[in-house]
Amino acid sequence: MNTFTTDDTSRSQPRRIVRILRAAIFGAAVVATAVALFYAEENWRGERAWAVHVKAMAALGEHLDQESFLPAPVPDDQNFAKTPVLDALAYQPKSPAAELVKKLRSIIFSPGPNDSWSQGQPVDWQNCLAGLPAEVRSESLVSGLSPAAQVLAILKPLEPVMAELRAAARARSLGQFRSNLTPGDPFSGLNIDGMFGLSRLLGIYVAAELAEGRTEQAFEDTLVLHRLVAAIGADGGTLLELLVYEAICNGSEMQIFWEGWRDARWAPAQYEAMQSRFGAWDGPVAYNRALRRERAFVNRIFSGSKSSVPWADLGVHQSRRFPFMPSGWWRQNLITYNLAMQQALANGFDETPPRFRSAEVARLTERTKEMQASSSPFLWLAAIGMTNHGKLVSDFAGKANLMPMAGVVCALERYKSERGEYPETLEALVPKFAATLPTDIYMGQPFRYRRTADGQFQLYSVGPDEKDDSGVKGDDWAWPARLGENRR
């Protein structure tokens, strides 16, 4: 008799698999729902926190949107930046003007006006010629000409550009390039390299004119350089534009002014005009304004979206977790970034009177280091955005002193031209030769000054340590003396 047995195990195996699959699917659904709810809640929390933050900042009088920082448009016929050759150079890197500047910069690159004046050094024209490529040196150098005259000969192709810019500088008193904050503007940005290259060539050109005794022409061409840098630093730019503006003003423009002062070339009327130019710039106000624009620019670029975040700037542990971050967390990143920028505004420069808050900046630098070391996903953008801020603002503070100090020098020379000697005190300049006395950024007080035994003067800043070391010790910085002067 045959007997058939039933294998209960074999029959129940598919059922167990089905139950396991059902449980797995159910578990996955539960997990997916929980994850979805988590992301939805975090995104909602981020959006809500952002809305609250914007209102809180508005209550402080702070604006986070780029529209609040768009400058009023300048009519084209009054806008120096709309000079055809300059407009092409600014936005068309392959234009003939841009190629000309690039070519001339490849010939005369490192020598020329920069900031050697701050060390009391004029342009070394012989060294400038020594740095020329061999083929240019053999083709361009003419015996019998001075080194500065030979540099002008090499820069002769720049003269049509100079003629156009001179006419525009006389006729167009305003200057404004397109703002990189403009919503929907497709252009990638101002050709900063081209602008800086042009400014360097202008600086070399004008300094060579001055060295050749063409003082009136050199003074007129300083207006071209001034119009250019004023347009770069006009309302609408961010920190990059401000730093380029500062570099040109305290480099090429100040080198030319100092050399003309050193050689007693400028006339009283020219000193008065340059004093007005120097006095029109307020470093602390400009920096705070640029910082606010920078914040608005970052808010627009990131706008709460993870897709625009520069992954390359994230640390290793950050970039690994970044893809899993809720978008609401990026809103939280924007909030911490904005708060860090607000702290930078509060602890960087006082505007009235102008003063650099060095101790507060040092503490902000330490806070930035803490953010960079933190693993919190809410601090990533702030850590990136505030990198090197302490060094940046500290360097800027030192440069912000130079133009106000040059304005005092202009007033002193005007006083001497009329009275025959320098004043005993700076207060004697007010109000005829200066409406007010510019202040040392480190003290919020007028610069230190004394008339020296040889009939000259010493003008200096006490420096970041805020200690008066008579302009000769510590980190005091004195206006560079004329050659042969005895300041002791």
Does the pLDDT value for residue 236 go beyond 80? no
Q: What is the pLDDT of residues 6-62, one digit of tens each?
A: 556 566 677 778 788 888 888 888 888 888 888 889 889 988 999 999 999 999 999
- 416 found inside a domain: no
- 203 found inside a domain: yes
Mean pLDDT of the region 70-97: 87
First to last CA, the chain: 131
pLDDT > 70 fraction of the chain, expressed in percent and rounded: 85
For tokens 């720049």, the residue is 158
Specify whether the CB–CB gap between 288 and 349 falls below 8 A: yes
Which H helix or E strand runs over 345? helix 327-346
- Of 459 and 232, the structure prediction assigns the larger pLDDT to 459
The pLDDT score that the predictor gives to residue 312 is: 47
Q: Which of 266, 289, 313 is the last residue of a domain?
A: 266
- DSSP assignment, residue 467? -
Residue 302's Cβ-count burial label (10 Å; 0-12, 13-18, 19+) is: buried
Residue 6's Cβ-count burial label (10 Å; 0-12, 13-18, 19+) is: exposed
Which residue(s) pair with 457 in the sheet?
A: 451
The pLDDT score that the predictor gives to residue 231 is: 86
The pLDDT score that the predictor gives to residue 187 is: 43
- 338 found inside a domain: yes
For residues 30 and 38, what is the distance between their CA atoms, to the nearest angstrom?
A: 12
Does the pLDDT value for residue 188 go beyond 60? no
Alpha carbon separation from 212 to 99, 128, 154, 268, 438 (Å, rounded): 28, 15, 15, 20, 33
Query: Domain check: are 95 and 176 in the same one?
Result: yes
Alpha carbon separation from 164 to 80, 81, 154, 280 (Å, rounded): 11, 12, 19, 25
Does the pLDDT value for residue 184 go beyond 60? no
- Of 157 and 193, the structure prediction assigns the larger pLDDT to 157
Query: Domain check: are 444 and 326 in the same one?
Result: no
The pLDDT score that the predictor gives to residue 8 is: 60
Q: Which of 400, 432, 448 is the last residue of a domain?
A: 400
Residue 311's Cβ-count burial label (10 Å; 0-12, 13-18, 19+) is: exposed
**How many domains does one find in the chain?**
3
Query: Domain check: are 449 and 345 in the same one?
Result: no
Q: Which of 254, 287, 298 is nearest to 66 (CA)?
A: 298
Does the pLDDT value for residue 390 go beyond 80? yes
Q: What is the pLDDT of residues 347-380, one digit of tens each?
A: 889 998 889 988 888 888 888 888 878 878 888 7
Which two structure tokens, joined as six digits, stand for 341?
A: 């920028």
The pLDDT score that the predictor gives to residue 135 is: 67
Query: Domain check: are 87 and 180 in the same one?
Result: yes
Alpha helices by DSSP H, listed for 60-114, are 84-91, 96-107
Range with the lowest mean pLDDT among 172-181, 276-285, 324-333? 172-181
Q: Which of 400, 434, 453 is the last residue of a domain?
A: 400
- 396 found inside a domain: yes
Mean pLDDT taken over the chain: 84
- 66 found inside a domain: no
Whole domain around residue 439: which residue ranges? 424-478
Query: Domain check: are 41 and 95 in the same one?
Result: no
Relative to beta strand 457-461, strand 448-451 is antiparallel
Which H helix or E strand runs over 450? strand 448-451
- 460 found inside a domain: yes
Report residue 132's pLDDT band, with 50, 70 and 90 as the boundaries: confident
- 332 found inside a domain: yes
Report residue 383's pLDDT band, with 50, 70 and 90 as the boundaries: confident
Range with the lowest mean pLDDT among 82-96, 118-132, 279-293? 118-132
Query: Domain check: are 133 and 261 in the same one?
Result: yes
Query: Domain check: are 242 and 109 in the same one?
Result: yes
- 418 found inside a domain: no
Specify whether the CB–CB gap between 69 and 234 falls below 8 A: no
Does the pLDDT value for residue 171 go beyond 90? yes
Report residue 486's pLDDT band, with 50, 70 and 90 as the boundaries: very low
Instruction: Please compute Rg for the chain using Cα positions.
Output: 31
For residues 242 and 234, what is the distance between their CA atoms, to the nearest angstrom?
A: 9
The pLDDT score that the predictor gives to residue 299 is: 84
Q: What is the pLDDT of residues 432-484, one digit of tens each?
A: 999 999 999 999 999 999 999 999 999 999 998 888 888 887 788 999 987 54
Mean pLDDT of the region 82-110: 83
Residue 368's Cβ-count burial label (10 Å; 0-12, 13-18, 19+) is: buried
Q: What is the pLDDT of residues 294-317, one digit of tens each?
A: 888 888 777 655 555 555 455 545
Phi-psi region of 66 (alpha: psi -120 to 50; beta: other; left: phi over 0): alpha
Query: Domain check: are 244 and 318 in the same one?
Result: no
Query: Domain check: are 372 and 474 in the same one?
Result: no
Query: Domain check: are 228 and 86 in the same one?
Result: yes
Query: Domain check: are 431 and 296 in the same one?
Result: no
Report residue 487's pLDDT band, with 50, 70 and 90 as the boundaries: very low
For residues 102 and 84, what is the distance between their CA atoms, to the nearest angstrom?
A: 18
Mean pLDDT of the region 211-215: 95
| Whole-structure pTM value | 0.84
What's the one-letter identity of residue 162? M
Specify whether the CB–CB gap between 122 and 260 falls below 8 A: no
Query: Domain check: are 97 and 56 in the same one?
Result: no
Alpha carbon separation from 469 to 141, 334, 362 (Å, rounded): 47, 44, 23
Range with the lowest mean pLDDT among 63-72, 180-189, 341-350, 447-456? 180-189
Contacts of 293 (CB under 8 A, 6+ apart): 69, 181, 236, 237, 238, 239
